[in-house]
């Protein structure tokens, strides 16, 4: 059985694609509306007995298994009981529910049930695809499973495996994908500890901005002395934020300044023009904070003098990282600093987020020690991947076939 996903703006266009590529005997397994239009899953060389076995208890008393909305609703005279419709059986699905006799107050519950059936069938189909992959290409399946163990997202994992040359040596099942993953991590060889400048760390609450500033300041002082360093607290929301920064500054002999508004910050930067390194500690903001855009716009008014770095916690979920990158990019970012590597159960999420959003990492941090536990990303890409592997010693995820089917087949298809 050969299965393929089709996508176009309306059903007629999609069915035309299916006919042209798979012929009139192709079977429609599911269809649904998505943001880009209509998505159809079609197959040729269809084995209905295999599908009945996959669906299991979802066959009805007559032996005809429950199908997704478009299949149920087609209800054409030419349809033979027990047979899944071929491409030529189906029409435009705009009036699918009405033509099937559903409507009125109960239509919403019917649509919900049909949607649930569609999701169930798609999951079962994903399971068949994963089983087919594992049988036909067990080495590919194992490489995907290895990347999944690290928490690497489905779209990134499939992209890596697709680009690799065929692997026929089990010893390369780890090495080849990990080398490719390391090369994909965007990094920036940041020279701020050599050249100095005006640096502001942005990011959500609790990601370690203040501690990271202390590490950067201490590193710079060790190389260049503390005379040219100034620390600025622009966090007017967190209680004790200035005191926290002052405690670090006292260790290295630097002075702390405060700025409670964009205007104060602009005036302060002019006053500190003779300093070789100015580090600005900003307030933590949730990416969903309604005031975030306003706050970033205020900081952006100084973007001609300030370089912005996003601070991300490696212990955050992938969706949280994606959202933070998307929202904080409303100011131009030089790159990011990834913190709390030592607190993450898996590092695949942060690696995937950096790759997907093409945000270069400048520094990695894996602890609280100052000035230690801070590493230049440009020289530590493979180290990051090795740390991801090391996480398996403490957290080995459970990856059964159902998980691989739904996460690494279904979601990969959704990103295709």
Mean pLDDT of the chain: 76
Q: Per mean pLDDT, which of 38-42, 260-264, 350-354 is the most reliable?
A: 350-354
Asked if pLDDT for residue 45 goes beyond 70, the answer is no
Asked if pLDDT for residue 388 goes beyond 80, the answer is yes
Q: Which of 14-18, 55-59, 241-245, 386-390 has the lowest mean pLDDT?
A: 55-59
Asked if pLDDT for residue 21 goes beyond 50, the answer is yes
Task: With cut-offs at 50, 70 and 90, classify the pLDDT of residue 108.
Answer: low
> How is the chain split into domains, by residue range?
2-136, 192-379
Using one digit for the tens of pLDDT, what is the confidence trace for 163-173? 887 766 666 77
Asked if pLDDT for residue 114 goes beyond 90, the answer is no
Residue 64's pLDDT is what? 42
Q: Is the Cβ–Cβ distance between 245 and 217 less than 8 Å?
A: no
DSSP secondary structure letter of residue 85: -
Greater confidence (113 vs 376) lies with: 376
* Strand blocks (E) in 55-156: none
Q: Can you give the pTM of this predicted structure?
A: 0.66
Residue 323's pLDDT is what? 92
Using one digit for the tens of pLDDT, what is the confidence trace for 141-156? 888 888 998 999 988 9
Report the DSSP beta bridge partners of residue 202: 310
What's the CA gap between 195 and 228, in Å, rounded?
12
Edge-to-edge strand list for the sheet holding 2-8: 2-8, 37-44, 27-34
Asked if pLDDT for residue 220 goes beyond 80, the answer is yes
Q: Is the Cβ–Cβ distance between 280 and 298 less than 8 Å?
A: no
- Locate all alpha helices (DSSP H) within 23-57, ordered by sequence: 48-55
Residue 119's pLDDT is what? 64
148 burial via Cβ count (<10 Å: 0-12, 13-18, 19+)? buried
Q: What whole-number percentage of the chain has pLDDT above 70?
A: 70
Using one digit for the tens of pLDDT, what is the confidence trace for 162-199? 888 776 666 677 888 899 999 999 998 877 777 888 88
Residue 339's pLDDT is what? 94
Asked if pLDDT for residue 344 goes beyond 60, the answer is yes
Residue 197's pLDDT is what? 85
- Mean pLDDT for 299-316 is 84
Residue 111's pLDDT is what? 62
Report the DSSP beta bridge partners of residue 28: 42
What's the CA gap between 327 and 288, in Å, rounded?
8
Task: With cut-offs at 50, 70 and 90, classify the pLDDT of residue 65.
Answer: very low
Residue 82's pLDDT is what? 43
Residue 73's pLDDT is what? 33
CA distances from 11 to 2, 21, 40 (A): 21, 15, 8
DSSP secondary structure letter of residue 95: G
CATH number of 192-379: 3.40.50.300
Q: Provide the 10 A C-beta neighbour count for residue 395.
A: 11
Instruction: Read off the tokens for 213.
Output: 């500033």
Q: Provide the 10 A C-beta neighbour count for residue 111.
A: 14
Cα 271 from chain centre? 41
What's the CA gap between 327 and 312, in Å, rounded?
13
Asked if pLDDT for residue 17 goes beyond 90, the answer is no
Instruction: Read off the tokens for 362.
Output: 């400048």
Using one digit for the tens of pLDDT, what is the confidence trace for 322-334? 999 998 888 888 8
Task: With cut-offs at 50, 70 and 90, classify the pLDDT of residue 49.
Answer: very low
Cα 364 from chain centre? 19
What residue has token string 């959500």? 204
Residue 122's pLDDT is what? 62
Greater confidence (259 vs 83) lies with: 259
Identify the CA nearest to 27 among candidates 83, 100, 95.
83
Residue 184's pLDDT is what? 94
What's the CA gap between 381 and 398, in Å, rounded?
26
Residue 321's pLDDT is what? 94
């Amino acid at each position: 059985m050969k299965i393929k996903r089709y996508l176009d703006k309306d059903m007629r266009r999609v069915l035309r694609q299916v006919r042209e590529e798979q012929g009139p005997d192709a079977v429609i397994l599911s269809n649904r509306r998505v943001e880009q239009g209509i998505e159809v899953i079609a197959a040729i060389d269809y084995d209905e007995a295999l599908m009945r076995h996959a669906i299991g208890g979802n066959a009805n008393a007559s032996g005809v298994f429950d199908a997704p909305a478009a299949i149920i609703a087609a209800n054409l005279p030419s349809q033979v009981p027990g047979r899944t419709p071929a491409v030529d059986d189906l029409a435009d699905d705009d009036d699918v529910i009405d033509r099937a006799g559903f409507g009125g107050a109960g239509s919403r519950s019917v649509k919900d049930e049909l949607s649930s059936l569609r999701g169930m069938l798609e999951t079962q189909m994903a399971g068949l695809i994963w089983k087919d992959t594992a049988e036909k290409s067990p080495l590919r399946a194992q490489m995907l499973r290895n990347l999944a163990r690290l928490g690497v997202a489905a779209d990134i994992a499939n992209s890596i495996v697709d680009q690799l040359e065929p692997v026929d040596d089990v010893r390369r099942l780890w090495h080849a994908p990990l080398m490719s993953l390391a090369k994909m991590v965007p990094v920036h060889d940041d020279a701020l500890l050599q050249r100095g400048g005006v640096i502001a760390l942005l990011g959500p609450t609790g990601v370690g901005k203040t501690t990271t500033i202390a590490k950067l300041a201490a590193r710079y002082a060790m190389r260049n002395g503390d005379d040219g360093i100034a620390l600025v607290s622009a966090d007017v929301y967190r209680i004790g934020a200035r005191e926290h920064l002052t405690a670090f500054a006292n260790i290295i002999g630097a002075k702390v300044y405060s700025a409670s508004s964009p205007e104060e910050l602009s005036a302060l930067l002019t006053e500190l023009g003779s300093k070789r390194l100015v580090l600005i500690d900003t307030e933590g903001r949730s990416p969903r904070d309604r005031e975030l855009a306003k706050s970033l716009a205020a900081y952006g008014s100084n973007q001609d003098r300030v370089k912005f770095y996003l601070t991300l916690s490696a212990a955050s979920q992938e969706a949280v990282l994606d959202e933070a990158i998307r929202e904080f990019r409303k100011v131009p970012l030089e790159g990011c600093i990834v913190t709390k590597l030592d607190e993450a159960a898996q590092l695949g999420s942060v690696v995937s987020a950096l790759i997907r959003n093409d945000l270069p990492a400048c520094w990695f941090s894996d602890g609280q020690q100052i000035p230690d536990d801070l590493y230049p990303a440009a020289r530590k890409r493979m180290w990051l991947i090795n740390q991801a592997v090391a996480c398996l010693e403490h957290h080995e995820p459970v990856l059964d076939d159902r998980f691989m089917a739904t996460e690494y087949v279904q979601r990969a298809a959704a990103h295709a």
